A and B are shown apart, each in its own frame.
Chain A
């Protein structure tokens, strides 16, 4: 168990370092930030001073070595845009995304388990067909378009919900719904598939022969054994949920990590881009380990 976790952590750290290296050199290719942060008529001396102050006059490999050294000292650099620690900026935005993502993935998983199980209990029934079609539509819909149609109908048309921003609970409805759509669609199909095969297995026949009530067979016996693939897919989806968050946050003006990332890339705020990547990658890495541990809880036969 410990060796497994250690190996897993080692690989993840390698991945994160690879990613940071890649992003470091890529962001440095986007151009000189002094062109963006100083007035157009500023002198060459002022530009040179700005570059020196932020260490941009050094050769790029030297900048990279300095970056690595600072990283080891837990110094993540200063945000050019906000004049404070880049990590602080990233960590302020992160909980906003985490809240949204946690609500979305929890709701969509719970709903998908319910709908998928009921669909699998009566394959070919009306409920099953409608659920299949809805889940397919959810998995196929472009999230940015659903968001826009949502704004069109509920904000512009009916005036029921705010178009963007945060604050009241009404601000949560549209972003959460849009973010839930794709995970829900994919998860319903997974739950339905695994439940179908679970319900066809001999121990379900036994349970039925014992005269157990239907709900108990479906949710007690079959579901328990179908949860493993569902957790795997839900974990994978949590990673891609960040993709959805980028779109949703930029449309609804949600001050999370996705919006911060887009703004920082466009404004060449390198340190913030790197900090957000570090935070996101670490969160995903912790999530993956948590899922591995969850396996052992769900299926006692699994040991590491």
Chain B
């Protein structure tokens, strides 16, 4: 998190789009992950508009239709569920809730956790200690158990689901932000701002927060996969999203009862979750390699070998 980085040559700055794209092309696995994620995000955005009708249309003749048959149309290629609804269409539509909930939760926990971390790092009043202790309470207990209790109490709904997921992930942003602030607030430019009479709020918002933000955004990208997994586990246990809304996790729960007769109902949505989180993890690993000057040579030498 240094501001001045004079030792990096302009050619190696991994910021410009074309350079990043070149690095991405060199790592086939990361490229595949990026393409897959782009498709899924596209499906999440456009899905309900494209195949929304097909996803909720009941088809008596297609009940428990086996996958890999195109007899009933391409939309049934992954089979159909017990009500004859095509699984592919439901996957596409379910992507919106799956991604929407995870994105909302990650954004909320970054915003709230980051803000609390800024306060806890900059100030040494009693509330800073209180904030840290609260983060400890959340951290020291298995998040799924806490989420189960809260969701059972407040009632499962999308809003509550987002709140619970955000709260359980918050300590990470809080602690990171605090650690960064502890270091930043001793820097010269902060002292200068203070000497010129800036109020704490202004110092935090104008001078410290912009430097903490990139770290938090990086963490949130990695955290996204974890939140998708948590949400689907909660929905699987029946305390997450409620019908008629559904996510991929809820789809697995629906198919659980038909394992012996129609395995595809539970298999595909879980497979989709796995591919998504795997892609996210592969991409974040790749990004870490690109961003790390000591590791970047691995990608650069790969190019030479390819030529």
Interface residues of A (CB under 8 A from B): 11-12, 14-15, 18-19, 22-23, 26-27, 29-30, 124, 133, 136-137, 139-146, 148-149, 151-152, 156, 239-240, 242-243, 246-247, 250, 258, 261-262, 265-266, 273, 277, 280-281, 284-285, 288
| Cβ proximity bits B259-297 to A, threshold 8 Å, 1 near / 0 not | 110010011011101100110111001000000000000
B5 partner residues in chain A, CB cutoff 8 A: none
Do B282 and A247 have beta carbons less than 8 Å apart?
no
* Other-chain residue from B153, B229, B232, B249 in contact with A26 (beta carbon distance below 8 A): B153
B285 to A145, Cβ gap below 8 A?
A: no
> Are B141 and A136 in contact, CB atoms less than 8 angstroms apart?
no
Q: Does B148 contact A (CB under 8 A)?
A: yes
Q: Return the chain B residue nearest A21 by Cβ.
A: B137
**Looking across the interface, which residue of chain B has its beta carbon closest to that of A197?**
B294
Q: How large is the interface on B (under 10, 10 to 19, 20 to 34, 35 or more residues)?
A: 35 or more
Contact yes or no, A247 B278, CB < 8 A? no
A-B contact pairs, 18 of them (CB 8 A): A18-B134, A23-B149, A133-B29, A137-B274, A140-B225, A141-B274, A142-B273, A142-B277, A145-B273, A148-B267, A149-B267, A151-B259, A156-B263, A246-B142, A246-B144, A262-B148, A281-B140, A284-B140
In the A-B complex, the 8 residue pairs with the closest CB atoms: A145-B270, A242-B142, A140-B277, A243-B144, A140-B278, A18-B137, A26-B153, A144-B236
Chain A nearest CB from B298 CB (Å) reads: 7
A residues in contact with B298, CB < 8 Å: 124
User: Are A145's CB and B144's CB within 8 A?
Assistant: no
- Is B44 on the interface with A (CB-CB < 8 A)? no
Chain B residues within 8 Å of A, Cβ to Cβ: 29, 133-134, 136-137, 140-145, 148-150, 152-154, 225, 229, 232-233, 236-237, 249, 252, 256, 259-260, 263, 266-267, 269-271, 273-274, 277-278, 280-282, 285, 298
Contacting residues, chain B, for A265 (C-beta < 8 A): 148-149, 152
Q: Which residues of B contact A247 (CB under 8 A)?
A: 144, 233, 236-237
Q: Return the chain B residue nearest A26 by Cβ.
A: B153
B153 is contacted by which of A12, A29, A137, A262 (Cβ under 8 Å)? A29
Is B137 a contact partner of A19 (Cβ separation < 8 A)?
yes
Shortest CB-to-CB span from B33 to chain A, Å, is 10
